Amino acid sequence: MNRTQIFSLASLALLIASIGAVAAMWSETLKVNVNVNTGEVDVKWSSWSCNDNGADPQIPNSKFSNDEGKDVARCYVQAEKEDKEGDVIKLNVTITNAYPGYHAVITLVVDNVGTIPVKLYSSSIGKYPTSALSVSLDKPTDTQIHPGGNSTYTLTVDVLQGAGEKQNYSFEVTLVFAQWNEVSGD
């Protein structure tokens, strides 16, 4: 017998011995059942109001004044649309009989009715004639809202000198909230 044959027989014997050891090995298996239940991102408008509760508010630090306390214009805020859970997801703001100098401040409260903290992902104000209106949205410094918590946003609409008589101006304000760890910064 030559060396190659001896080496081959030795390798074969070692292989057969290994297989025999594996077949004789005792074993026990452990398992883990895993269930993952995801949370929910869910926000709603919970409260809203307008600052026009009597004498018409005027644009601060401007030439306009209402020293006489006239109550001419009106600002209404009401629910327009609910989701399938009955949460208010769209509001309608109607300002009637407005005139240059009128200053509407709409206070909007957003509740987190979901199970995951959320942050404001984006906000936008649709197009409107800047010669007729000045519109701004004031956001909280920290837009994160924990489940069960809320944040207040303020929408300001000023009617400017360039507004036309008997005109109708419309625009939409959109706030998009996302899970807190998807939004960088504020």
Q: How confident is the model at residue 4 (pLDDT cuts 50, 70, 90)?
A: low
Q: What is the pLDDT of residues 106-136, one digit of tens each?
A: 999 999 999 999 999 999 999 999 999 999 9
Question: Residue 152 domain-assigned?
Answer: yes
Question: Residue 9 domain-assigned?
Answer: no
Q: How confident is the model at residue 184 (pLDDT cuts 50, 70, 90)?
A: confident
The proportion of the chain whose per-residue pLDDT surpasses 70, expressed as a percent, equals 87
Which tokens go with 85? 């859970």
Question: Residue 74 domain-assigned?
Answer: yes
CATH number at residue 81: 2.60.40
Question: Residue 1 domain-assigned?
Answer: no
What's the pLDDT at 16?
73
Q: pTM value? A: 0.82
Domain count, the chain: 1
Under 8 Å between Cβ of 61 and 55: no
Question: Residue 12 domain-assigned?
Answer: no
Q: What is the pLDDT of residues 12-37, one digit of tens each?
A: 766 676 666 556 688 899 999 999 99
Question: Residue 16 domain-assigned?
Answer: no
Q: What is the pLDDT of residues 90-114, one digit of tens each?
A: 999 999 999 999 999 999 999 999 9
How many C-alpha atoms does 50 have within 13 Å on its Cβ side? 23
Which helix (H) or strand (E) covers residue 15, if one does? helix 3-24
Determine the structural domain holding residue 90 and report its residue range: 43-182
How many C-alpha atoms does 118 have within 13 Å on its Cβ side? 24
Question: Residue 37 domain-assigned?
Answer: no
